[in-house]
Structure formats: structure tokens, C-alpha cells
């Protein structure tokens, strides 16, 4: 997996800006970034940091060892800190010691050969248990007895795709798996005809049973997490957008389409003299899939919010967009203006929040506009001018 530039993220978000050469990195830095992005994808899929244990999946054990090493190497931490939107580099909960086996040694212990040309991100002659299980569950289909009633639905979908009213995009996560949605999985078009009520499985994760109809006249009684695994682990897994999904995102609640979250901009109400004197330019840029207000109900006790109350400066509703990818793009763009502050929590532990920036609200709105028209990659933010300027 190569390093994702701003341009790559824009393309994933469905934006097609002009092409620009990416900043070069050394081969070693590219491998470090690619390995860290694999860990981030694991966390997004499974909801927790990778763990160590003989009964766990091979990749999870590799990621646990890799993450522990990244945390202990200053060079790696400085390279990855701007990409770490999940706080993995500061989380000390991974159950593995930093001096544990490296990736290659662990693979050898497990009896698996690594592909030397692609480092340990690719293995030969092995599939993870989760990947095998997902493929088997998709394959366990039966004939759909009432397929006739679904034929018009699939025909309408084909017409929408042909006319451009719908398109396909990369699968973004389990929140997109809802009744009435279409997906491309294992080379077939899948329609979620029915979704039962959610329940909590034995592992403590929320799940639900689905009736999935495939365009070849078969159906499957799948769990949502099984479909998620199949879409995530397949290189061809896609989701089909809703017809006329609307713009990339819009301010407040004006957009129509399939909402996937909200980018919010907060202003601190801290009485700290250093922060209060810069109140008009100190902003937190974040993302949430739920109500924005719930994110800061206990802000006064949360170092992430500078241990102080906040107010909403602006919100942007996302429509058919990977919200984490968009948040990461904004954080990287404004990284030169990141607020360098250390806050102590209630227990005296020092915390360095990473989502606060010394940027005027007008500049944030301008960046949003440039993401929407696909031109952000041609610009950069210069703190000394407090302005977005065209890249030299």
C-alpha cells in the first residue's frame, strides 16, 4: 500500500482534480507509512487496536508487533503523527512488548512465507481466517424463489448506472450497510432486501441479520459483519451510491442524499490567557457520525477539548463521503498551523491534542470549497499569512 497523498484522498472521496506530482519519500518511509495504514484499516474494520495472541488472526498479530515498534521509534512517530487520526501512537493498550518478534520472524514462526518484493503486507499461499470465512459465507447462497419481484429493481439500477444517476465508490464502512442499498461483492451485484433489528453478538459487537439478493437469482441470509468483511477484504468490493446523491458536502443541513456524518469546527471558550487571546483563530476540526453536540457534552473534563467548554463555529454535512478520509485531508492541509499545546487531564497526565489549529474560520470554509471543486491539491496553507495560497 503506497503513501496516500492529498490527491489520492480526493480521488477516494469521488473528486477528480487536476493531476500533480506527489512529494517523494524514501522507500523506507513509504514502507513505514504503508504498514501504518494497514494498521489503521484494521482498527476501522474491527473497532480496536491489534492484539497479540496465538489464537488470533495472523495479520492481527503482525499489526500488534508492528504498532509496538512504531511507538518506540522517534523517527517513525514523527513521520506518522500527522496521519494518526485514531490516536494509535499514543495508545499504550496493545498487548505486546516492543522487543517482540519482527514481522518476518513472526511469519517464520507461523510457517508462512513473506513476499520479499512487497514486504510483509502481502503473504503467499495464505488467507486470513476472516477472509476465508467471509468468502465462504458469500458463497453459501440459495436460489431466490421470488426473484421476479427483484428483477425490476436490478434493471432500474442498471439504467441509473448507465445514465450516471448512480455510480460505484469504495466501500467506507459498516454504517453504509442498510436496507435498500446496493453493493458489488465477489463480482456480483448485491441488494439488501431486508435488515433485521440489531443485536449484540458474543464478542460484544453490534450486528444484524440481512436478506441479500444477488443479481444472478440467488440469495443469502448474511450477517452485516460478514458482508462488511467481504467488501473490505475484496479488492473489487464497491458500494453503489444513491441516485442524485448531491454534492460532496454542504454547510449545515441543506444537502439531500445519503448522509455519512458531519465535519464540525469548534471554538474554545477556555479562560486560559494564551488561548483566549487567540479565540478567533483557534479552531478544532473534527468528524462524527452522530450528533455533533454529543461529542463535547463533557468538554470541561476532556483534554481533547482543552479542558474547557466549546461552541460550534461551523458544520458541514457529508454526503456519500468517507468522513475519516476527509477529516484526515483537512488535518494534513492545516498541519503547519497545528496548535502546539500540552494539556493535563484530571489525573495530571500530559496530553497534546492534535485536532486544534490556529486558522481563521474563513480559511477553513475556503478549504472546504476547494475540496468540493477538486482544486485543494493545488494550494497550501501558510500560517505566516493566515491564508491559503497557490503552491509554488
Q: What is the pLDDT of residue 219?
A: 92
Mean pLDDT, rounded, of the chain: 76
pLDDT at res. 98: 41
Length of the chain: 392
13 CB-contact burial (10 Å; exposed 0-12 / middle 13-18 / buried 19+): buried
65-122 pLDDT per residue, tens: 888 888 888 888 888 888 888 888 876 544 444 444 455 555 554 444 444 444 444 4
pLDDT on residue 174: 66
Q: Where are the beta strands (DSSP E) in the chain?
A: 142-143, 168-170, 182-185, 188-195, 199-200, 206-207, 209-214, 218-223, 238-240, 249-251, 259-268, 282-288, 310-319, 343-344, 350-351, 356-358, 379-382, 387-390
Cα dihedral sign, 82-87-89-90: positive
Pick the closest to residue 213 from 304, 285, 141 (CA basis).
Answer: 141
Give residue 138's pLDDT: 56
pTM as predicted: 0.39
How many angstroms separate the Cα of 173 from the Cα of each of 108, 221, 240, 364, 376?
32, 20, 13, 26, 25
How much is the pLDDT for 91? 62
Are 183 and 227 contacting, i.e. CB atoms less than 8 angstroms apart?
yes
Low-confidence ranges of the chain (pLDDT < 70): 1-5, 7, 10-25, 54-55, 58, 91-139, 172-175, 243-260, 320-322, 392
Dihedral (CA of 267, 272, 275, 277) sign: positive
Best CA proximity match to 266, nearest among 294, 321, 305, 317: 305
Cell of 297: 457534552
Give the pLDDT confidence score for residue 121 in this predicted structure. 45
Dist CA 318 CA 175 (whole Å):
13
- In this prediction, residue 15 carries a pLDDT of 60
Amino acid at each position: 500500500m503506497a503513501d496516500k497523498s492529498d490527491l489520492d484522498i480526493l480521488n477516494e472521496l469521488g473528486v477528480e482534480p487536476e493531476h500533480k506530482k506527489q512529494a517523494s519519500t524514501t522507500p523506507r518511509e513509504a514502507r513505514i507509512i504503508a504498514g501504518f495504514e494497514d494498521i489503521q484499516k484494521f482498527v476501522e474494520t474491527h473497532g480496536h487496536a491489534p492484539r497479540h495472541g496465538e489464537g488470533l488472526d495472523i495479520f492481527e498479530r503482525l499489526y500488534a508487533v508492528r504498532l509496538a515498534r512504531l511507538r518506540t521509534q522517534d523517527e517513525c512517530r514523527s513521520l506518522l503523527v500527522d496521519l494518526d487520526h485514531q490516536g494509535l501512537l499514543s495508545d499504550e493498550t496493545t498487548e505486546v512488548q516492543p522487543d517482540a518478534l519482527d514481522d518476518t520472524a513472526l511469519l517464520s514462526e507461523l510457517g508462512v512465507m513473506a513476499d520479499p518484493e512487497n514486504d510483509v503486507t502481502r503473504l503467499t499461499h495464505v488467507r486470513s481466517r476472516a477472509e476465508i470465512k467471509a468468502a465462504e459465507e458469500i458463497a453459501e447462497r440459495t436460489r431466490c424463489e421470488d426473484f421476479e419481484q427483484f428483477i425490476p429493481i436490478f434493471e432500474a439500477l442498471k439504467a441509473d448506472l448507465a445514465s450516471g444517476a448512480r455510480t460505484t465508490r469504495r466501500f467506507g464502512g459498516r454504517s453504509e450497510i442498510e436496507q435498500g442499498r446496493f453493493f458489488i461483492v465477489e463480482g456480483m451485484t448485491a441488494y439488501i432486501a431486508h435488515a433485521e433489528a440489531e443485536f449484540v453478538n458474543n464478542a460484544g459487537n453490534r450486528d444484524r441479520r440481512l436478506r441479500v439478493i444477488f443479481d444472478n437469482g440467488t440469495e443469502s441470509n448474511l450477517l452485516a459483519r460478514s458482508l462488511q468483511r467481504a467488501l473490505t477484504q475484496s479488492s473489487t468490493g464497491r458500494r453503489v451510491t444513491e441516485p442524485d446523491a448531491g454534492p460532496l458536502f454542504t454547510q449545515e443541513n441543506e444537502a439531500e442524499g445519503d448522509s455519512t456524518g458531519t465535519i464540525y469546527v469548534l471554538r474554545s471558550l477556555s479562560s486560559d490567557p494564551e488561548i483566549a487571546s487567540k479565540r478567533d483563530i483557534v479552531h478544532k476540526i473534527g468528524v462524527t457520525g452522530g450528533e455533533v453536540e454529543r461529542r463535547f457534552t463533557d468538554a470541561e473534563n476532556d483534554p481533547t477539548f482543552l479542558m474547557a467548554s466549546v461552541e460550534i463555529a461551523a458544520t458541514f454535512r457529508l454526503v456519500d463521503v468517507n468522513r475519516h478520509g476527509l477529516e484526515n485531508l483537512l488535518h494534513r492541509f492545516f498541519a503547519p498551523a497545528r496548535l502546539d499545546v500540552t494539556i493535563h487531564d484530571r489525573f495530571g497526565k500530559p496530553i497534546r491534542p492534535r485536532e486544534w489549529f490556529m486558522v481563521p474560520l474563513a480559511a477553513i470554509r475556503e478549504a472546504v470549497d476547494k475540496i468540493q471543486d477538486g482544486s485543494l491539491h493545488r494550494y497550501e496553507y501558510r500560517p505566516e499569512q493566515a491564508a491559503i495560497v497557490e503552491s509554488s
